[in-house]
A and B are shown apart, each in its own frame.
Chain A
Amino acid sequence: MATAEATIQSGTTAGSKTGLWSWITTVDHKRIGIMYAVTALVWFLVGGLEALLIRIQLAKPENDFLSADVYNQIFTMHGTTMIFLVGMPIAVALFNYIVPLQIGARDVAFPRLNALSYWIYLFGGIFMNVSFLLGAAPNMGWFGYTPLTTEMYSPGLNADFWSVGLQILGIASIMGGVNFITTIINLRAPGMTLMRMPLFTWMALVQSFLVITALPVFAVALFFLSFDRFYGTTFYNTMAGGDPFLWQHLFWIFGHPEVYILILPAFGIISDVLPSFTRKPLFGYNMVVYSGVLIGFIGWGVWAHHMFATGMGPIADSFFSIATLIIAIPTGVKIFNWLATMWGGTIRFNTPMLFCIALVAMFTIGGISGVHHGSPPADLHQTDTYYVVAHFHYVLFGGLIMGLFAGFYYWFPKVTGRMLDEKLGKWNFWLFVIGSNMTFFPMHFAGLLGMPRRIFTYAEELNLATINQIITVGGFLTGVGVLVFAWNVIRSLKKGEIAGNNPWGSHTLEWATTSPPPEYNFAELPEIRTREPLWDGISSVDVTGPPKAPIHMPSPSFWPILTAASINLALILMMTEKWWPPVLGVALVLLCVINWAYEPASEH
């Protein structure tokens, strides 16, 4: 303990210990956040590459660049990767790094559980993509509708990888959600009331509640599917009386909250970034918080709007239509509040701000086409066409990705101590804006002119070639933007301008400590009196100086990675289609958990 104290007092840089082993056993929320971010960005490149393959295939009618089956694998994995391996984990990466800093905590509530989530996520992602090496990647679409996904119509390993892989990833997400809720509820600095929390932390809280309530539904749906496939149950078997609607309802009860799971973190980011770059507090903080919470709640009552073409009957169609359109109101409120935050400010066009502006401009388009889908008769045309593809890419690229990139450029200095290059950042921004609009805007027309989703080819006489060529060029421009970003990160890690504690003149607590923060985050916990502590002057305690008393930090542990490996193994062993291998796997998990529980708490 003496040596540990010594290390902490000797320096303020994070990770006084280095080397591979220290990363494998780390329980530091900042290091886990970095690992999450790096992993998710690698998957982002993979998912982007898949998108470009899709675009090459569709660049001309009746193309044979990819075979039908390979194309189906690629589009399925593009969706699955971008949602489960990129969208959710990048948000988790930022939660991990930023939320404890924003609320003045030393770490998350359950540091080892946090490490466990990460390792499960890493192994699960690798497992799913290993399927490509066997030529058997999932090929049934990311929403895996039964009965297409049952043994009878998908006899190969493809759907096995999908159902088991997503089961694994879901476990990681649920654990993360529990961890963040506990952290945000229990570990706030003195004086940090709920209504003084930064918006990003607020949205992390709402999002985590959605995660722990929505993901278990999906887990059940996936277990039904896995049991049908491996053990001959008949939950989804229409021949045995299974109802084809069962999967759709279970899936979308998870799947629609999932949309808000993806987008709320971006709403949180923009709500923190806008004040920093306009030098004005967030306009209507309460309204923005409440509308976020409201979106979370109503988000539970709209799932069947994904099913307007399934013939649910006029009563159900009307109910879900009304619920869906009502959700446009709190969403609109947020957009108007962001505009009002900018109104009267002094707007600085740094890269994080530019991405936020793109978010407002593009998410609005996605929201508007969402309203079009919300009307079932109109949706009878739009659903299952490229109009929907355009809609959710405006929401997820225009909303989520733009928001996350705002977050990267905004918090990169805090994480690394160096600024990302502004000039490259602007190249990144313009390539993204031009490329993504060129990709996703024409998709509205493609859909209305008769192009269904998920087709590996289209007939020449449908005259859709020109539109698809424009889309393909746009896709590649966006891809160049990603390369510029990657180069910017690599270059700035070495040569970036030194950031200092608060390079943007921001208002929230994470900017009070050093960049990067020490392992213990704050030498002394400050007392919070307002929503913008750094603008209003935090209490006199010295948050960056050497700690005055020894700080108890959790010790590193290798049990999280072992437990993660055994949880993965237990689920993967279901693919043997015998009952005892997964039981053995569960025994292994229990063994790990017991060792974990009895691990001596050698505090330092």
Chain B
Amino acid sequence: MSSEWRKALRTLALAALAAVWVGCAPENYPQSIFDPVTDFGAEINGLFAWIFWLTMLVLVIVECALVYILIRYRNRPGAEPRKIYGNNLAEIGWTLGPAIIVVLIIVPTVRTIFSTYEPPEGEPLVVEAIGHQWWWEFRYPELGLTTANQLHLPVGRPVEVRLTSVDVIHNFWVPQLGGKRYNMPQPAKAPGEAEGKKYNVLYFTVERPGEYYGQCAEFCGTSHAIMRMMVVAQQQADFDAWVAKMKDGSRNVPAGVPAPGAQPVAQTQPASLEAEGYQVFMRAGCAACHAINGTPAMGVLGPNLTGIGSRWSIGAGLMDNTPENMARWIRNAPGLKPDAKMLTFPNLSDAEVEALVAYLYSLD
């Protein structure tokens, strides 16, 4: 190889490295692992970095040795190489070398394995993350609250995420929160079988408020690629305010809607578009699958819609949360998201859909 070539290659390599360095800046990549916001993420990134640089040492040695040998011993016509069959000392050396590096990796690895399974000190906030084909259900048993696809977490308090699934295997991954673990479906219990821990857990404490993307990482069927989620990490006070708002069911029944159980009054024009939408919601059968806090809608097959108006997307990351998209989604969800389980509603009139959308947007 001529020296010009070598120079060009070196320049190219440096340019590539610089490009990678700049290009990987975390702020450009909202789903990157390089900007962890939890103790868990920081711990496993630290381990990864240690292993990475140790192995880079090996990589550089091997590749440099290869290049050196190829240049040094290239095309030597006439030269008859010595027939060397081996060298015990050298071979013991390059067995022990890697063995030492392996030990240097194993020790911190095992320590980190145990610490990631260790429950945090203090009372963690328990969140059940339940995978469905193809959306996420989040339950807060302590708060009596259920939401979907957008997970609110307080900053500074340890969190225990319990991972399960109602159908196939899913995999909860929000890179900035740390590593992923599988959402395993729960095997049916035999009669009399003891209640055991049948779910996976992730423990972490979020240290920085912000919005973090995540998505299902285990192939789970047709729309696996559109099973995304957003984590909204908030200061405790903001989180508490969000919880209070979510739990206030009265917000979800628009003015002008007769109270449940009240005698139906003479049919009059509902007071508002939202109130009309509320009635469409109940009439069209939405409540068979969806629940809204404080209303008779208590379906559990589909996402809980309390607070739907303030979520970042429709269809678990499929599209922006706008009234137009909401209307398209109500009419024909599987046409937008392949094999989505939501029914289609081709028979709703434009006015009915408009009212429904208005109602859903009032649920913020």
Contact = CB atoms under 8 A, between A and B. Distances in A.
Q: Do A and B come from one complex?
A: yes
A456 interface: yes
A380 interface: yes
A452 B134 CA distance: 15
Contacts of B175: 381, 450
B14 interface: no
B122 interface: no
B32 A448 contact: yes
B200 A325 contact: no
20 contacts: A69-B222, A69-B338, A147-B169, A147-B185, A148-B219, A241-B188, A244-B169, A279-B81, A285-B86, A313-B117, A329-B99, A332-B98, A342-B70, A345-B73, A375-B47, A375-B105, A378-B109, A384-B171, A448-B34, A457-B226
Given A317-B113, A377-B109, A242 B34 contact: no
B173 A371 contact: no
A347 B113 contact: no
B169 to A, nearest CB: 6
B75 A336 contact: no
Contacts of A457: 225-226
A380 B180 contact: yes
B186 interface: yes
A309 B180 contact: yes
A329 B98 contact: yes
A244 to B, nearest CB: 5
B4 interface: no
A346 B75 contact: yes
B235 interface: no
B153 to A, nearest CB: 19
Contact of A449 (B29, B48, B86, B338): B29
Interface in A304-357: 309-311, 313-314, 317-318, 321-322, 325-326, 328-329, 332-333, 335-337, 339-340, 342-349, 357
A139 B221 CA distance: 8
A139 B97 CA distance: 44
B219 A454 contact: yes
Given A346-B80, A445-B24, A448-B32, 18 more contacts: A72-B222, A145-B219, A153-B221, A238-B188, A244-B169, A287-B91, A318-B113, A333-B91, A336-B94, A337-B91, A368-B56, A376-B109, A377-B44, A377-B48, A448-B33, A454-B225, A456-B225, A462-B30
Contact of A280 (B52, B83, B213, B219): B83
Interface string A441-454: 00001001111111
B52 A452 contact: no
Most buried by B among A69, A384, A445: A384
Interface in A261-312: 278-281, 283-287, 309-311
B113 A372 contact: no
A143 B56 CA distance: 31
Interface string A400-418: 0000000000000000000
A272 B223 CA distance: 47
Nearest to A68: B338
Contacts of B20: 445
B105 to A, nearest CB: 6
Contacts of A445: 20, 23-24
A450 B180 CA distance: 12
Contacts of B168: 145, 147-148, 153
A309 B109 contact: no
B76 A346 contact: yes
A345 B84 CA distance: 10
Interface of B: 20, 23-24, 28-34, 43-45, 47-48, 51-52, 55-56, 58-59, 62-63, 65-66, 69-70, 73-77, 79-87, 90-91, 94-95, 97-99, 102, 105-106, 109-110, 112-114, 116-117, 133, 163, 167-169, 171, 173, 175, 178-182, 184-190, 200-201, 213, 215-226, 228, 317, 338-339
B84 A378 contact: no
Given A280-B84, A445-B24, A463-B30, A346 B169 contact: no
Contacts of A462: 29-31, 213
Nearest to A67: B338
Interface of A: 67-69, 72, 139-141, 145, 147-148, 153, 238-245, 278-281, 283-287, 309-311, 313-314, 317-318, 321-322, 325-326, 328-329, 332-333, 335-337, 339-340, 342-349, 357, 360-361, 364-365, 368, 371-372, 374-381, 383-385, 445, 448-459, 461-464, 466
Nearest to B78: A346
B59 A368 contact: yes
Contacts of B99: 329
A317 B206 CA distance: 25
Contact of B112 (A357, A377, A463): A377
Q: Is the interface of B mostly helix, strand, loop or mixed?
A: mixed
A380 B116 contact: yes
B48 A244 contact: no
A310 B184 contact: yes
A466 B28 CA distance: 12
Contacts of B223: 68
A120 B116 CA distance: 48
A450 B31 contact: yes
A464 B133 CA distance: 24
Contact of B82 (A309, A344, A371): A344
Contacts of B112: 375, 377
A452 B65 contact: no
Nearest to B163: A311
Given A238-B185, A328-B102, A337-B91, A384 B109 contact: no
Contacts of B70: 342, 347, 357
Contacts of A371: 51, 55, 105
Contact of B317 (A281, A284, A375, A459): A459
Nearest to B218: A384
Given A325-B105, A340-B90, A462-B31, A377 B187 contact: no
B86 A344 contact: no
